[in-house]
Structure 1
Amino acid sequence: MVLLAALVTGAVLYVRGALPAPVPPLDRAFGYHDYARALDHVRPSGDVDFEGLLRERAGLERFVASLASVSPHNRPELFPTPEDGQAYWLNAYNALVLQHLVERYPDGVAASWFGRFYWGHAWPVGGERLTLWALEHRILFGEYADPRVHFALFRGTRGGPRLDGAPYQPEFLDAQLNDASRRFMGDKRHVRLEGTTVHLASLFKTRREDFLAALPEGRGGNVLQFVWAFLPDTCEERPGCDTRGDLDRACGTQLDTCSLAFAPEDLSLPDAGDAASRR
């Protein structure tokens, strides 16, 4: 019984990222250059050229290795503002997902049972051994609580938020998070009107409380108010998308006359090679 309790405690600490990790010396100044080079393999559609990245993975591996030495937790002087810290954790999360997918290629998230992709592996990050679950839940939402982060986290799926082609930068972070939110809302796979029914990505159901907490009305509000804030005014860039005006006309000015339907997420790998073969 004592052994079982110890194993359970150890597993919980592991998933939550509460175990220590060694901190190797950093041989050069920390930065996002190597990660930016890896993101050159991201297509405008958000699909990733995994075969190309496999051939040129050294930069991504160098960046991931640098995370072991530096983080806002063990070197706070390098990340003096909340934006510095939040940009670091966003880039760290997305880079670790990308590396994890490259190592498993051509398998994707769907091949991982019971969500093990997010909690079954831990990386050394600034003296902590962190799973993706810990990075997301304990750090990004525990320390920053910005619901726009949901649209900036690369999940490794074609139906989830797109991986951007550039790292998040502290000086542009607010604009980058707004852009990520607008991209997500402007995609008909995530927000689609059909009469007085609004079809939404399942993310709006599973993390509904996060979106409601950001509204002026708080948890008594309507998740469509959050959606409305990031819908486009026109569809010049995305022909056929739904706009704020469309939502107003269908759902009323209080956005309370529509019903909601939640679509399952496409869990296929966002592989540019696979996308090209389907065209």
Structure 2
Amino acid sequence: MSARRWEVAPEGGIDCRSVSAPLPSRHRARWFAAAVLVVLAVLVVGAVLYVRGALPASVPVAAGPFSSTDYARALDHVRPSGDLDFVGLGRDRAALERFVASLASVSPRLRPELFPTPEDSLAYWINAYNALVLLQLVERHPEGVSSAWFGRFYWGHAWPVGGERLTLWALEQRILGEYGDPRVHFALFRGTRGGPSLDGAPYQPEFLDAQLNDASRRFMASPRHVRLEGDTVHLARLFQTRKQDFLAALPEGRGGNVLQFVWAFLPDTCEERPGCDTRGDLDRACGPKLDTCRVTFMPEDLSRPDVADAASRR
């Protein structure tokens, strides 16, 4: 900053000279604070855009027609229990990586002509989400979701998908949420033993409705997710965090009871899954309107669904 100094010139008159003067300390502090605020604002905006998947990504040339064949190969390592053979998955890691790489070139938002029906698009996004969870378990968090602090597993990394850089959070909240089908919540593998389990095959447009119903039934039939004790129904935490989505799907709308949604997918018998609770059990415990029971929500088991870990606990 400069200041003016008036002096008497040797030849007479007044000479105005510009001299350098230090910026007052209070002004320096204000400029510094303003600069810090600008930097923080840029970082916050960038972080929000990153997490929400609003940043662009380059679109490489596709190596060939889009296919889920490589992803199906990775799913060969899913056991009937829902646990995964991570040793075998590690051997087929290249197939999983090829499928994830193919997502960068094609998506329903980038190439809608390749996904003419809502079922085509929804199957793509569910498979993309689950494949990215699998790859992150193999590459970045081999110890499981619990090794990523503050939920960073879902928002801390973004992948190029059809010209966008998408986090798992963006896929679930911003894209899959647009379909308004609460059954999708039971199809999304979250990398935990306590969450929804993987199917042994990719989701396919022509069978999508049946596959979503099956995923919902598998979830309800597990005592980890639905368990009766007298007149208390213990539900997975998912029913609390997504309660409004489940209620919106009921004929009564949001004024209904989440147990009505649970009842719709409970099994009639437990022949295939001994120890589960049935529709009849829920009717007897809670009454015909399912309104006499107390509902509590159980914490999710965040351990990695590794078949080797399951075997060691037996």
In the superposition, the TM-score normalised over structure 1's length comes to 0.98
CA distance in 2, matches of 1:264, 1:218: 26
CA distance in 2, matches of 1:209, 1:217: 12
Alignment counterpart, residue 67 of structure 2, candidates 31, 34, 57 = 31
Do structure 1's residue 153 and structure 2's residue 188 form an aligned pair?
A: yes
Structure 2: gaps of 5 or more residues: 1-36
CA distance in 1, matches of 2:121, 2:223: 32
Alignment counterpart, residue 13 of structure 1, candidates 45, 49, 59 = 49
- Quick one: which amino acid aligns to residue 286 of structure 2? C
Bigger relative CO (Cα 8 Å, ≥ 6 apart): 1
- SS state of the match for residue 261, structure 1? strand
- Quick one: which amino acid aligns to residue 290 of structure 2? L
CA distance in 2, matches of 1:69, 1:183: 33
Deviations 1:167-188 (A, max 9, x none): 0000000000000000000111
Counterpart of 1:182 in structure 2 is 217
Counterpart of 1:245 in structure 2 is 280
Deviations 1:70-102 (A, max 9, x none): 000000000000000000000000000000001
In the superposition, the TM-score normalised over structure 2's length comes to 0.87
Alignment counterpart, residue 55 of structure 1, candidates 91, 94, 101 = 91
Counterpart of 2:33 in structure 1 is none
Map 1:1-279 onto structure 2 (within 5 A): 1-104=37-140, 106-141=142-177, 143-279=178-314
- SS state of the match for residue 260, structure 1? strand
- Whether the 8 Å CA contact 2:184–2:212 is kept in 1: the answer is yes
- Quick one: which amino acid aligns to residue 120 of structure 1? G
Deviations 1:77-132 (A, max 9, x none): 00000000000000000000000001135311011111000000000000000000
- Runs of 4 or more off by more than 2 Å in structure 1? none
Deviations 1:254-273 (A, max 9, x none): 00000011110000000111
Structure 1: gaps of 5 or more residues: none
Percent identity over the alignment is 82
- SS state of the match for residue 176, structure 2? helix
Root-mean-square deviation (CA, aligned residues, Å) is: 0.8
Counterpart of 2:10 in structure 1 is none
Shift of 1:240: 2.2
CA distance in 2, matches of 1:269, 1:201: 17
- Quick one: which amino acid aligns to residue 308 of structure 2? G
- Whether the 8 Å CA contact 2:144–2:304 is kept in 1: the answer is yes
Deviations 1:188-208 (A, max 9, x none): 111011110001001111111
- Quick one: which amino acid aligns to residue 29 of structure 1? P
Report how many residues are paired.
Answer: 278
CA distance in 2, matches of 1:51, 1:236: 31
- Whether the 8 Å CA contact 2:193–2:304 is kept in 1: the answer is yes
